[in-house]
Amino acid sequence: MSSTPASAAPAGPLTSAPVAKKVPSARTHHGDTFVDPYEWLRDKENPEVKAHLEAEQAYTDAVTASQEQLRQDIFNEIKNRTQETDLSVPSRKDDWWYYSRIEEGKAYGIYCREAAGNTGNPIADWTPPDVVAGTPVPGEQVILDGNAEAEGKPFFSIGGAAVTQDGNLYAYAVDNAGDERFTVRIKDLRSGELLPDVIENVFYGLTFSPDGSRLFYTVVDDSWRPHQVKVHVLGAPVEQDTVLYQEDDVAMWTGFELSADRRSLVLSIGCSEYSETRYLSFDNPEAGLTLVLPRSERVLYEAEPFLLDGVETILLTHNRNAVNSMVSLVDPAELDKPVADQHWRTVLPHDDGVRVNGATVTSTHLVLSIRKGTIERVQVVPLAGLGTDAQAGAVEPSFDEELYTSHVGGSDYEAPVIRLGYTSYLTPPRVYDYVLPGADQPDGELLLRKETPVLGNYAAADYVAEREWAKAADGTRIPLSVIRRADLARDGSNPGLIYGYGSYEVSMDPGFAVARLSLLDRGVVFVIAHVRGGGEMGRNWYDAGKKLQKRNTFTDFVDATDWLAKSGWVDPARIAAMGGSAGGLLMGAVANLAPEKYAAIVAQVPFVDALTTILDPDLPLSALEWEEWGNPITDADVYRYMKDYTPYENIRPVAYPRIAAVTSFNDTRVLYVEPAKWVQALREKTTGSEPVVLKIEMDGGHGGASGRYEGWKTRAWDYAFVADALGATELLNRRG
């Protein structure tokens, strides 16, 4: 590497963007050679690279200096609407109520518990204690203070925690770099002392064996893929930890969880197209892992062993002859037969209009998570008669709004209630306990435990959230969520922001966001485009936006933008776009496809050099991406298809809009080098005069800097960049 400066910046005020030197690097696949002049920026240890990134941030600071007051205003609006001292609703586990609280001026949560009582009245025993924010809780025991743990550290995040069933030991995993590699420590909650056991380089997820003698955890390989489930015996040297399971297929992800009844450890191995489940019965651990369905069957499924009428049974949520998935029961003895000869009992049949996302059980009910009409819903079915002609119908708690999200927020196997989370674009997050249906209450009962307070005279009636539909070029109807101030005039003069993701079957579900109010109150029409590649319209919607149909994701977004431009709500010259991670790839793609349609684009941790990344299986998580995009290493058609859309390689000499690429130096999911290269190429090719900036958090990970205040600052930065570009800097109620 040359010793010449990585970046050139003029003396005095920083008015010119840093220019990275060019070091040509050739990449050849399938007879095609691509010469990349900026690949050298990948060398994270090179001082020139760090110097260049620091110069980029200095340039960004200079270019956006005029937005500082607006950023501060938006930050203050977020802060002033947030009840800074607050408590979560306690959740019962065994003989304790667990909850977290957060205090004004502190960035991290404090994890606590208090003892639970057992009166013999199930509903009373599962009614959470009445804890009040800012008021001392009698008998409170602080388990972990995140603020104390984070003190003096550049970053702090918890990647998993577990408590033994007797409530005596607490294991927790901490990341102080943002690279999602955690250090596990174990605390004796009776004495408050830490055990000598310390486990390094652990991935997400922890759980104890029922007797508390062993701790299960996951380890990643060199490409950041979770591939081992390991067992630590408390008190033994970490070097003696054993591997319960190792997955050697580089395209498969491994994880685990306890079964609902905590009788088994359930390992999930798979990708987005097929999977494999193995489980360890704690009643008979010497038998080892039991395989449910082998991956060779190419079935995408989840399995949970449980007792049905005292008989060991396996609950299967699967896509065997069911593209949207269905739910079945199978006797473990059937697993010894070829799958074609096994007898499965149908619990929830396949429905083209219903996507089954998951299923679990309590001691009395089956709990289903489904998606119908784009909306995620919860249904319950009594276990009595399950899988027989006597099976009862599903019961679904009902809500008043059209666009909402309802999900299971936790439940205990023996509890007479399940905890539900609820939110919408207009309703702050609520926590309900849903009393499970019985003879005396056939529809169950919703008990509101909390609605997250929003300060500053927030009123849902001041805003509107509507479902609209855009039409794609091929005739497909694309659902849109349109959120705006209720008093906004439909006169074609307003600014608009359109947001999208569209990958991995992830749905952009309705949810409340305090920060979004700052844009709405400046007259911005906020649109979420539920483009193909997401999961909003079922499995086929996802399949229609991946691999060799990935372009649908990008063209759907452009078509959604056209709908917005013609809707009468906005000025077509005042539309911005935003997306993150795979949504950042979407931003890069639409910038190339239709740069003239956007006044500004914010690409958060953007996957804009996707082909280079996926062509190198040694890079973090690359091999796991083949199921989403195809494998360009072995498939020439996939290579050519990706080469035609990947943002970095399709920048052309046109007038690009104002662009901000937001990234973190320690991101392990989308490496900083992708946006760093992208902004260089954009500046080199653009024929316009709008600035292209790189904002980089040197101590952050995929989610940016840690702590709630830093998170608010990040969102304020993004929104100020958009609002400034759209001329939407003043609050509506301040206009004359």
Give the three-state DSSP class for 405: strand
Which strands sit side by side in the sheet containing 417-424, from one edge to the other? Answer: 404-410, 417-424, 430-435, 445-451
**Position 582, amino acid:** A
Query: How far is 81 from 289, CA to CA, in rounded Å?
Result: 50
CB 41 within 8 A of CB 20: yes
Measuring CA to CA, which residue among 267, 333, 351, 338 is closest to residue 304? 267
What is the distance, to the nearest Å, from the Cα of residue 508 to the centroid of all Cα atoms in its chain?
10
- Which tokens go with 198? 């310390």
Q: What value does the CA radius of gyration of the chain take, rounded to a whole number of Å? A: 26
Strand partners, 375: 372
Q: Please state, in angstroms and rounded to a whole number, the distance separating the CA atoms of residues 673 and 385.
A: 56
DSSP state for residue 266 in the 8-state scheme? E
From CA 298, how far away is CA 306, in angstroms rounded? Answer: 24
Euclidean distance between CA atoms 411 and 659, whole angstroms: 44
What distance in Å separates the CA atoms of residue 68 and residue 378, rounded to the nearest whole number?
44
HSE (side-chain half, CA atoms, 13 Å) at 528: 21
Question: At residue 485, what are phi and psi to the nearest 5 degrees?
Answer: -70, 140
Annotated active-site residue in 318, 365, 530, 702 = 702
Identify the DSSP state of 72.
Answer: H
Structure tokens at 464: 């509107």
Half-sphere exposure of 16 (CA within 13 A, CB side): 10
| Long-range CB contact pairs, 337-341, < 8 A, 24+ | 339/293, 339/297, 339/299
Cα distance between residue 613 and residue 621, in whole Å: 9
Mapped onto helix, strand or coil, the DSSP state of residue 340 is helix
What is the distance between the alpha carbons of residues 230 and 209, in angstroms, rounded to a whole number? 12
Angle, vertex CA 136, rays to CA 513 and CA 83, nearest 5: 20
Instruction: Tell me which of 581, 622, 664, 706 is the catalytic residue.
Output: 581
Reduced to 3 states (helix: H, G, I; strand: E, B; else coil), residue 451 is: strand
Round to the nearest angstrom and report the end-to-end CA distance of the chain. Answer: 58
Question: Which of 73, 175, 521, 667 is flagged as catalytic?
Answer: 667
Residue 546: Cβ within 10 Å count: 22
CB 559 within 8 Å of CB 641: no
Active site residue 318: no
702 included as an active-site residue: yes
Cα–Cα distance list, 593 to 409, 472, 650, 662, 690 (Å): 40, 15, 9, 21, 17
3-state secondary structure of 224: coil
Residue 570, strand partner residues = 494
Q: Tokens in use for 108?
A: 């991290």
Beta bridge partners of residue 277, listed in sequence order: 268
**Helical H segments across 90-222, by residue range:** 122-125, 146-150
Distance between CA atoms of 408 and 387, rounded to whole angstroms?
A: 22
d(CA 721, CA 232): 48
β-pairing, 658-664 vs 365-372, is: unpaired
Amino acid identity for residue 6 in this structure: A
At 600, the amino acid letter reads: A
The catalytic residues are: 581, 667, 702
